[in-house]
Structure 1
Amino acid sequence: MRNRHPTAPPATQKRTEGGLNVKGIAARAAMWSARHRTLAILGWIAFVVGVTILSGHLGTREATGADQGHGDSGRADRIVEAAGFPEQLAGEMVIVQNRAGTDRAAAVADVTKQLTNTADVTGVQPAIESPDKRSSLVTFSIAGDPETAKDRVGPALDTVAEVQAAHPDLYIAEGGDASGDKLIGDDLDRGLNRLGLLSIPVTLGILLVAFGAVVAALLPVALAVTAVVAAVGLLAAASRLAPTVDTTMHVMLLVGLAVGVDYCLFYIKRERDERRAGADTHRALVVAAQTSGRSIWVSGLTVIVAMAGMFFTYDATFVSFAVGTILVVATAVLGSLTVLPAMLAALGDKVDAVKIPGLYRRRSDGRAWHAFLGMVLAKPLISAVVAVGALAAIASPVFDLRTKAEGIEDLSPKAPIVQAFKVVDAAFPSKTSPAEVVVQASTVKGAAFDSSLAGFKKAVSGSGGKLTGPVEVRINPAGTVAIVSVGLVGDDALGTLREDVVPATFGRVDGATALVTGERAGDADFNARLDASLPWVFGFVLGLAFLLLLISFRSVVVAITGVVLNLLSVAAAYGMLVYVFQYGHFERQLQFQAAGGITNWMPLFLFIILFGLSMDYHVFVLSRIREGYDRGLPTRQAVREGIGRTAGVITSAAVVMVAVFALFATLPLASTKQLGVGLAAAVLLDATIIRAVLLPAMMALLGEKNWWLPRWLGWLPQIAHEPAPAVAPQGDRELTPVG
């Protein structure tokens, strides 16, 4: 009877499995898991369940607005947070606007009366009139916790709708904090629920086509889902060091599903290929561990390095994204190198159970891919020129790339609340996104502050329309901090307020600190923070990726071409975003309205995510090419064999990623649409033009120069990419260690 748990040899001994020397972390982890399959599988389940329970007890610490601030606006927000201001209720506004020949007085009175008698409505203020005398604005608040006000704003919205129906000759609409949150929250919740319901079935469907067997298709989905669940559990503990933002979990789902499925796909495909080539179950697992397992390890490390670049932004949102994505990638790597080999060892040939007629194939010869590669390699220079030309054409709009802050225009332009915000902003700019001057002094209740406030109001009146009232003041109970609100009109209004008006007024109060915050000020400071961090982020990601490729493949040329090819895919994604979202193509199909710019955090975030995911494919393909080269094949033949044998799995992995990413384009926010389109387009281009045309063409042109390494770098570690020469199949024999 076969012993499933042979005694492990001393650490100093070499171990052979199925005729192969087991070398490297990935292979040793796989072999341990294969021997202790029950322990590995139950251990993984216990790990996922345990961290999930732990996260429930700990809870997740969320970042506050003050955590996310930068520059003067961030300092101002922290002063306000510490000043002990009474919590402000969620504010709402109702605009009543004339149409041709109409009188709005009766409607204003009706709105005011009806709202006063509406549940959860408080603090209804007398209407104010716009400078052009065409609009009136009624402001009020929603009672209770402002964080949950969206759940109580419904009666107010119903009341306004009834008044509008009673006065069809006027435009009457509501907008505000609670109604805006309700619009965004309801639409986003529906979209995310749809995404959750569709992403896993879509992924499973693609894998069923790729594998042609139900069990083999279920394994990657199961690993990816459990990896995401475990990583979300770990995030609760990590949030004690780096508070998280609510969108982090969505990003973790996006990245976790992509890399988790990919890693399993690479591993299972290689194990199946070896078994179909005649290897016994154990030898196939050893080869898969030493090739695909090693690629997963290197790829995962590269992706983690790329994600770590977000730490250099010093921004709470990006830091939260970095922590979340690093956790989910590390968890996916851990699962791929431990529980996956255990499952494959336990299943054996049953991994192909429940075959699907017409889809299951014992072996794919990849004739179509080999024929295509033959054409590329026959004319590598022409192929490279055509590929570069196509990528350059797609990327060309990047030279016109502009960024903008997220705003109400990023929501569906058909939404009534969006339309109301735009009308209010045009008639009462000080009410939609006012600037707030935060003044901190030993006292803000004396003559000095009153004099500076009078000067401030005078400066607002004389600003030529850049600043607009009414100027409103709030003072904290201690009388040490004042918040002075004023409207901004025009692109240079913020600069006028910060550089001229505030220094000339509140800046002259002895011992006072006067800082400008608010939406526009926060956006300006956020952009400044991103601009300052870009060189550090790009330098870190590109430098570390270069070093990892250099060490993994002992080639300066391979490292340089890998970085350049990934930059090309990122540039193409940027060009696509500009073409679609900045120029306004496909507005009707994607249900958005072009706003003249890309969301300000999108370029940096896409660079990091795409660079990491592109390296995922690149490492896998290059490992297979180097494997052939190390066996003695000429470079061109190694390229043909390596890409030809990986083309099917790369295509399947890319289709999974494109499908999942494309689902994000169905969400209601312009930023999520940009994320989905950018990622899907980049992965599609990366898996086709770059990996199938440009990479083989460049490597064919470079020939032996691909593997150039200066003598002074000869100290780099030797990493064998090839498995040992094939041995005759020996059946399902004992895995006996050999000293």
Structure 2
Amino acid sequence: MASLLYRLGLGAARRPIAVLITWLLLLGAVATAMVSFQRPLTNEFELPDSEFAAVLDDLGDQIPEIAGGTGTVVLHSEGGFTPAQRRAIDDTMATWRTLPHVTDTVDPFETQEQLDRSAQQVADGGKQLAQGRAEYEDGAHQLLRLEWLIGEGRRDIARLQRTDPGNATLPARVSGQADLEERYADGQRQLADARAQLDAGAEKYDDGARLRALGDGVRLVSEDGTTALVQVRFDAGMQEISPDDLALVPEAGEQLADAGVDVDYGQELVLTTEVGGIGEVIGVAVAAVVLLVMLGSFVMAGLPLAIAFTGVGVSLVGAMALTHWLDIQQLAPVLGAMLGLAVGIDYALFIVNRHRRQLADVVRSGDEANRDEIRHSIGLATGTAGTAVVVAGATVVIALAALLVSGIPTLIQMGLLAAATVTVTVLVALTLTPALLSLAGTRAVPRNAAKASAPHRDGWPEKWVDAVTRRAPAAIAAVVVVMATLALPALSLRLGLPDGGSESKDSTAFRAYERVADAFGPGANGPILVSAGVDEPIAQADLVGEQARIGEVIATADGVSDVLPIGVSEDRRTVAFQVVSQEGPSAETTVELVHQLRGTVSDELADEGVEVGVTGQAVANIEVSERLAGALPLYIALVIGLSLVLLTIVFRSVLVPVLATAGFLLSVGASFGVVVAVYQWGWLGGVFDVHNPSAVMSFMPTLLIGILFGLAMDYQMFLVSGMRESYVHGQRAREAVRSGFASGARVVAAAALIMVAVFSGFVFSHMTMARPIGLGLAVGVLLDAFLVRMTLTPAVMSLLGDRIWWMPVWLDRLLPHLDVEGSALVDKQRPSRVGAEEREDALV
């Protein structure tokens, strides 16, 4: 491989203009394609065979009006809404109903009046029922009085018939007695009818009161009248609608500001796909400063940046062009840009640094760094450092491509796009870097060439590796203790998807989330939909009672605040409920509530012939998180297995790959711990803009493991390959550790600081989902580079000595040789001043 890359680098150095034009034309071509074909990104997280999606589809068939997506608009007016503001709100809702995909808007004031009327109707019904019972009791008392009179009359008539049969009043008394008994019989019939009506009314009232009590806390206008909640209903799920179409809702709502109404929009209506905020710019600026300090030249410092931006530009602009045919998730380009910038700068830096060291050697030897020397040096740098770049890039690509095993299309898409970005960046580094170095010419020679190339005896790398290897056991123990301590919070890791409470404090999504939580309860930010299906249609007269019966069973689940019936299918075989939890959609109690609804509640109703389905955004988030967690073990096993094979081939050792992987596990555990402490526990929340600590984004562990493993192996590759090179060239094992470390530590440290700077810029990204990934990668790279690769690794390798390079003979023969240390290039001497062109031709 080294010889192949030498020829590639030398060819690019001899034809730099052609290489530069080729990449510029390619960039122009994909940019033209992007302008012609680009469509908006999507926020859809597709999950095949998901239960929540199946329930939602079934609801769409049975009760179409509630199955589409719902966007939340929060209105606020200090002192309550004036008539003029109400008219402005009505006009705005009418405008919203004309927008694409919008099917209806729920008027909060009208709906609240209906809710209030229903509550009043229940109260009035209770009064009427009490009055009816009083009237019934009065009628029953009168009937008893009549029954007594009838008995007295019968006794009087019987007495007269015995004692005075010829009494003139006897016929009249007998006739009156008959009338009285007829009245009594009519009264009995009327009282029985009244009893039946009273029982039916009592049952109807009881059903209505029970059902109304279940959703008594549901409101769309706050009790103080200052906040109202408008629901904008769509004909499809929110994730299926174009961000451009969703953006029309806030645009149409701008007129409300003129009426003095404060308007905030739920997270689902204000998707953020923006990349390149102030945080990212600062990160790249810090990386540029590190490059300038490391390379001491604006030209040389700009070269790795040019490589990184070219690689990211070609890959991401090309990806934007593909949106005409593919729905690309909004996080995918952010992840690609984050990773592409970091590895692009680093990969170019390693080649540039190797070239500058070789030119410094030329100057120290007293020769002149002419065109032929520069080209030859470029070829050697590409053949040696370039080989490490290829292996390092391959490790990252393997880790990202292995996301295929997750079976989740969105995650696969993000992984493949990031892998493609890394692949393009490697190609740019191996071709454009030699071309630009050739154009830079002698400007690549360090200003103080003698100092740049002379062996250091008192620099910080030498002092550090000497201290680490002399006190190896203590160094190993210290690293393990620090990393294990940082990893402790990871034991409480809880996964979910970010909601409005995770957005920036000054964002409309955050204000909407907070106002809803304050005015209507935190659970109103993510209600749960529950469908209940029965085999036989429910009779119209029994509908309210059946809804109350099912709703009461649902309400027995822990964490339920309100249960509100929201729809009935035409055939009355399916009823739907909105379940509001006591806490927010990302809270742990809400997760437990969903499990109860799917478990004990579903089982109890199934015994009564009711089939329960649970769906909604909160449910979708929980199911996505659990599916990702289930796929994680297989993913880790695949990534580590493939990378162990690759590292074994590279380093010709059994123990070096094992050490590299063990170090990675320490790094990823510590980075998980930091992310949990910040985003789940809320530590340093003010610094990292975390106001509502909640579950960590469910995609974070999988993406972090894949990316961090690849990057960790990068530093293992660049640092340990120098040790391997020294060992292969004859040094003793412990001396090879010291010399290899000293030769590569500076550039590895600079590369790590560059990656940390780039990743840290995304910690304050406009896109909330990118923040924990940025922090996890920044912390992971920092810890992995300086504690694992630059402390733990040399300490363990010095303790093991020659044993660290042990490999069975049969395995060594079986595995292919990549020649990472560039042994095949040892015989390629610097070209002489006589016949230089011929020598170059011979080498190529």
2:637 maps to which of 533, 539, 564: 539
| Structure-2 residue corresponding to 1:724 | 826
Residues 670 and 421 (structure 1), Cα distance of their counterparts in 2 relative to 1, 3 Å cut: same
Distance 2:767 2:32 in 1: 32
| Structure-1 residue corresponding to 2:593 | 493
Residues 689 and 61 (structure 1), Cα distance of their counterparts in 2 relative to 1, 3 Å cut: same
Tell me whether 1:116 sits opposite 2:94 in the alignment: no
Matches within 5 A, 1:617-696: 617-667=715-765, 671-696=769-794
| Structure-1 residue corresponding to 2:335 | 251
Answer with 30-39 or 358-367: which moved more.
Answer: 358-367
Tell me whether 1:338 sits opposite 2:431 in the alignment: yes
- In structure 2, what residue type is equivalent to 1:458? R
| Structure-2 residue corresponding to 1:8 | none
3-state SS in 1 of match to 2:549: helix
Distance 2:332 2:490 in 1: 27
Tell me whether 1:381 sits opposite 2:458 in the alignment: no
Distance 2:736 2:714 in 1: 20
Matches within 5 A, 1:244-283: 244-278=328-362, 280-283=373-376
3-state SS in 2 of match to 1:515: strand
Asked whether the 8 Å contact 1:231–1:327 carries over to 2, the reply is: yes
Asked whether the 8 Å contact 1:456–1:506 carries over to 2, the reply is: no
Distance 1:579 1:320 in 2: 29
Distance 1:148 1:364 in 2: 64
Distance 1:737 1:336 in 2: 25
| Structure-1 residue corresponding to 2:266 | 177
Q: Deviations over 1:187-246 (max 9, x none)?
A: x85x84324543443332321221111221111111111111111133246668863211
- In structure 2, what residue type is equivalent to 1:269? N
Distance 1:607 1:450 in 2: 58
Tell me whether 1:424 sits opposite 2:516 in the alignment: yes
Asked whether the 8 Å contact 1:216–1:352 carries over to 2, the reply is: no
Residues 266 and 728 (structure 1), Cα distance of their counterparts in 2 relative to 1, 3 Å cut: closer
3-state SS in 2 of match to 1:652: helix
Residues 547 and 452 (structure 1), Cα distance of their counterparts in 2 relative to 1, 3 Å cut: farther
Matches within 5 A, 1:547-562: 547-562=645-660
| Structure-2 residue corresponding to 1:211 | 295
Residues 642 and 590 (structure 1), Cα distance of their counterparts in 2 relative to 1, 3 Å cut: same
The structural deviation recorded for 1:323 is: 1.6
- In structure 1, what residue type is equivalent to 2:251? D
The structural deviation recorded for 1:374 is: 1.6
Asked whether the 8 Å contact 1:304–1:330 carries over to 2, the reply is: yes
Tell me whether 1:150 sits opposite 2:240 in the alignment: no
Asked whether the 8 Å contact 1:235–1:323 carries over to 2, the reply is: no
**Structure number, greater radius of gyration:** 2
Distance 2:83 2:766 in 1: 35
- Structure 1's unaligned 5+ residue stretches are 1-21, 98-103, 164-172
2:564 maps to which of 456, 470, 473: 470
Asked whether the 8 Å contact 1:243–1:320 carries over to 2, the reply is: no
Aligned residues: 687
Residues 508 and 175 (structure 1), Cα distance of their counterparts in 2 relative to 1, 3 Å cut: farther
Asked whether the 8 Å contact 2:360–2:445 carries over to 1, the reply is: no
Distance 1:502 1:149 in 2: 37
3-state SS in 2 of match to 1:730: coil
3-state SS in 1 of match to 2:55: helix
Distance 2:601 2:542 in 1: 14
3-state SS in 1 of match to 2:842: coil
The structural deviation recorded for 1:90 is: 3.8
- In structure 2, what residue type is equivalent to 1:494? V
Answer with 593-602 or 315-324: which moved more.
Answer: 593-602
1:306 maps to which of 385, 399, 414: 399
Distance 1:499 1:452 in 2: 25
Asked whether the 8 Å contact 1:238–1:323 carries over to 2, the reply is: no
The structural deviation recorded for 1:110 is: 7.2
Distance 1:328 1:277 in 2: 34
Asked whether the 8 Å contact 2:75–2:263 carries over to 1, the reply is: yes
Q: Deviations over 1:258-285 (max 9, x none)?
A: 0000000000100110111118223322
Residues 234 and 660 (structure 1), Cα distance of their counterparts in 2 relative to 1, 3 Å cut: same
Residues 692 and 519 (structure 1), Cα distance of their counterparts in 2 relative to 1, 3 Å cut: same
3-state SS in 2 of match to 1:486: strand
Q: Deviations over 1:492-527 (max 9, x none)?
A: 4323433355577699889xx863211221122112
3-state SS in 2 of match to 1:487: strand
Distance 1:683 1:450 in 2: 66
Q: Deviations over 1:26-54 (max 9, x none)?
A: 33322332344333222222222222323
Residues 738 and 530 (structure 1), Cα distance of their counterparts in 2 relative to 1, 3 Å cut: closer
Matches within 5 A, 1:329-368: 329-351=422-444, 362-363=452-453, 366=456, 367-368=459-460
Distance 2:698 2:269 in 1: 21
- In structure 2, what residue type is equivalent to 1:224? A
2:20 maps to which of 41, 47, 51: 41
Distance 1:346 1:685 in 2: 37
Asked whether the 8 Å contact 2:38–2:322 carries over to 1, the reply is: no
Residues 727 and 262 (structure 1), Cα distance of their counterparts in 2 relative to 1, 3 Å cut: same
Asked whether the 8 Å contact 2:547–2:565 carries over to 1, the reply is: no
Distance 1:481 1:238 in 2: 42
Distance 1:287 1:553 in 2: 20
Residues 141 and 72 (structure 1), Cα distance of their counterparts in 2 relative to 1, 3 Å cut: closer
The structural deviation recorded for 1:405 is: 3.3
- In structure 1, what residue type is equivalent to 2:564? P
| Structure-1 residue corresponding to 2:30 | 51
- Structure 2's unaligned 5+ residue stretches are 98-104, 117-215, 235-244, 363-368, 583-588
The structural deviation recorded for 1:84 is: 11
| Structure-2 residue corresponding to 1:131 | 217
Matches within 5 A, 1:57-136: 57-59=36-38, 62-63=41-42, 65=44, 67-68=46-47, 71-77=50-56, 90-94=71-75, 107=81, 112-118=86-92, 120=95, 123=105, 124-125=107-108, 126=110, 127=112, 128=115, 131=217, 134=223
Residues 681 and 431 (structure 1), Cα distance of their counterparts in 2 relative to 1, 3 Å cut: closer
Asked whether the 8 Å contact 1:26–1:297 carries over to 2, the reply is: no
Matches within 5 A, 1:386-465: 386-413=478-505, 418=510, 420-425=512-517, 427=520, 431-437=524-530, 447=538, 455-462=546-553, 463-464=555-556
Distance 2:378 2:607 in 1: 71
Percentage identity across paired residues of the two chains: 23
Asked whether the 8 Å contact 1:658–1:680 carries over to 2, the reply is: yes
The structural deviation recorded for 1:591 is: 2.5
Task: With the length of structure 1 as denominator, give the TM-score of the two structures.
Answer: 0.82
| Structure-2 residue corresponding to 1:19 | none
Tell me whether 1:140 sits opposite 2:114 in the alignment: no
Task: With the length of structure 2 as denominator, give the TM-score of the two structures.
Answer: 0.73
3-state SS in 2 of match to 1:244: coil
Determine which structure has the larger helix proportion and give its number. Answer: 2
Matches within 5 A, 1:698-737: 698-714=796-812, 715-720=814-819, 721=821, 722=823, 723-724=825-826, 727=829, 730-731=832-833, 733-734=836-837, 735-737=840-842
2:11 maps to which of 32, 43, 52: 32
- In structure 1, what residue type is equivalent to 2:800? L
Residues 728 and 138 (structure 1), Cα distance of their counterparts in 2 relative to 1, 3 Å cut: closer
Residues 407 and 360 (structure 1), Cα distance of their counterparts in 2 relative to 1, 3 Å cut: farther
Distance 1:738 1:519 in 2: 62
Asked whether the 8 Å contact 1:376–1:383 carries over to 2, the reply is: yes
The structural deviation recorded for 1:151 is: 2.6
Distance 1:451 1:230 in 2: 65
Residues 705 and 107 (structure 1), Cα distance of their counterparts in 2 relative to 1, 3 Å cut: same
3-state SS in 2 of match to 1:653: helix
